[in-house]
Each structure stands twice: as structure tokens, then as C-alpha cells.
Amino acid sequence: MKKIIKTLALTLTLSGLAAPVVQAKEFVNVLTGGTSGVYYPLGNTLSSIYAESIPDSKVTVQSTKASVENLNLLQQGRGELAFTLGDSLSNAWKGNADAGFKAPLNKLRGIAAIYPNFVQIVASKESGIKTLADLKGKRVSVGAPKSGTELNARTLFAAAGLSYDDMDVQYLPFGESVELMKNRQLDATLQSAGLGVASIRDLASTHDIVVVSIPADVIKKTDDPAYNVAEIPADTYSGQTEPVQTASIYNYLVTRADVSDDVAYAMTKGIFENLDKLVASHSAAKGISLEHALQGMPVPLHPGAERYFREKGLIK
């Protein structure tokens, strides 16, 4: 009987009828931000693209506190692709402890520059806030502690001669900040995001708002090349009839050094060959272009991304 069983097993194996070998899944975890920001809807769209374009993949999306948390998670091997602000990425590579990085994050590798974030300071009209100086003594949300948004707030307030001691600072995500403003428990919120961010659109649809200008001279005083003078166009939000000057900072997509070249290539290609899908998920993606894909990249490019950009003629 034992001989019969062994013979049958060998026959099945040779004839290809034995149980197939299950291929290991290629895990891709996309690290985004809060659900009311821009990173999250774009991350969900990328996950759908990658699920179709990366063979044998299991793609997930993780909502996080955004830039700083994302970069630390990448370093720990707990993600394959992350959204981040440029100044946070630069601080991570250097290991700036004050910015939330205890040591240099040397495993980070660049995929691409994507769209610019606009620092958007929005106050309720009834608060009387019209300028940065008017924030003194007011209740102001600056984003989650040590988030990219909060680092933007510290940098720009300091350049304007303000400190957190001058105001009642709250460390809140975008959606929660808006809910408190609706309930008159908060006077203003600083949100670093793409234009037309859902949280501010929601607020402006039901309440009168003032979008506070950040003057060019304040931006220049940051002495940080990541910060650029920009403009929030008129009618970006309901009731905002005039353009407003502010600061912009590029966003980046980054990965880890140990992610395979093929996967990094596929992730990069998936971005630039599906821009229509990204724009459909959020208008901020209109700022993504192959032309600016390498702009100001503060970390080494991943070889897989480099291969794609060589194919497109961006790298000779």
C-alpha cells in the first residue's frame, strides 16, 4: 500500500496535478495622511493603480499623521511608498531631532516630486483676524504635533516674529479643526495642503471665512529653499473673491532603499501614466507633471525610479 501511495504521489507531481506553489504577495503599503486632506484620496487612487499594474501585489492604504510619521514608518520598514512635504524630507535625511527625527533616516529613497502644498491660514470672519499679527491672543490650530503642517507653522510664525506663546495653540488634524471652527471653539486653522482641500471647502460652504496672507518678505525670512512665494487663486474657496499670497512647499513621494527596483519602477510609472485618474480624485494633482518630477529632490533617487526617468529622457 505504501508503495502504491508513493507511486501515485510521484505520478501526480510529474503530471503537474500536484498542489501548485503559491507565489508570495508583493506587499505595497501606501502611507498617506488624514482622511480630510489631499494625501489620502490620492493614495487611494494610487493603490487602485498599483493593484492592477504590480503583479501578485497586495496594496493597502494607511491613514497617518502625514509627513513626519510617514518617513519614520518608512525607515522602520512599515511602508513602501509615502507622501511627504519637502522640508520634512530634508530634515529626515539630516536627522533633525527638533523636526521629529532622532537620527538620519538613511533608508529613504526618492520616487518623485509631485504637487506643491500651499500653506493656507483660514480664520472665521467673526474672529476679526485679517493679518498674521491678528493671530495674537487667538485660538489657532497648527496641525498634529510634529506633523509637516505643524513644522510649516513653526517656521512661518517665527519668520513673522510670532511664537506659540503669542496665541492659544491647538494641535489638531484638518477635519477636527474645521468642526471646532464651526462650533466657534476655534478662531483659525493653518493647513498645509493642495489647493481646494476638502476640509476648508467644507468650512467655507457654511461659514464666512478669511484667508490670511503670508507676505513674500516673511517667506524669504525663513531662509529655507523649500519655501516659495505662491498664490491661492481667487475663488479657490467659497467667499474668497481675491487672490491671496502665501507660501508653497513641494510634496514628494518616497520609498525605501530595499524596495525592489521593479516595484519602484512600477510605482513611478503608475504615477505619471495615470495623471488623469489622480486629477479625478483630487484637483491638487493638476500640479503633478513629469517636467517637475525631479525638482529639488532632497534624498537619493531610487534606482527603479531613475530607470523610468531615463526612459523618459529626464536623466541622460
Burial of 279 (0-12, 13-18, 19+ CB in 10 A): middle
User: Residue 124 in contact with residue 177, Cβ under 8 Å?
Assistant: no
Closest CA to 162 of 197, 127, 121: 121
- Paired residues of 123 in beta bridges: 188, 210
Distance between CA atoms of residues 10 and 4, nearest Å: 10
CATH code for the structural domain at 117-249? 3.40.190.10
Distance between CA atoms of residues 151 and 216, nearest Å: 19
Distance between CA atoms of residues 261 and 256, nearest Å: 11
Q: What is residue 253's predicted lDDT score, i.e. its pLDDT? A: 98
User: Residue 211 in contact with residue 239, Cβ under 8 Å?
Assistant: no
The residue type at 93: W
Q: Has residue 157 got a pLDDT over 80?
A: yes
Q: Which CATH architecture has domain 26-115+251-311?
A: 3-Layer(aba) Sandwich (3.40)
Cell triple for 263: 516595484
Please determine whether the domains at 26-115+251-311 and 117-249 fall in the same fold group of CATH.
Answer: yes
Specify the pairing of strand 209-212 against strand 139-141: unpaired
- Provide the 8-state DSSP code for 128: T
Domain spans of the chain? 26-115+251-311, 117-249
Q: What is residue 223's predicted lDDT score, i.e. its pLDDT? A: 83
How sure is the predictor about 148, in pLDDT bands with cuts at 50, 70 and 90?
confident
Q: What is residue 294's predicted lDDT score, i.e. its pLDDT? A: 95
Cell triple for 229: 512665494
Encode pLDDT of 91-140 as tens digits.
999 999 989 999 999 999 999 999 999 999 999 999 999 999 999 999 99
The residue type at 157: F
What would the DSSP string read from start to end of 62-104?
E--S-HHHHHHHHHTT--SEEEEEHHHHHHHHHT-GGGT-SS-
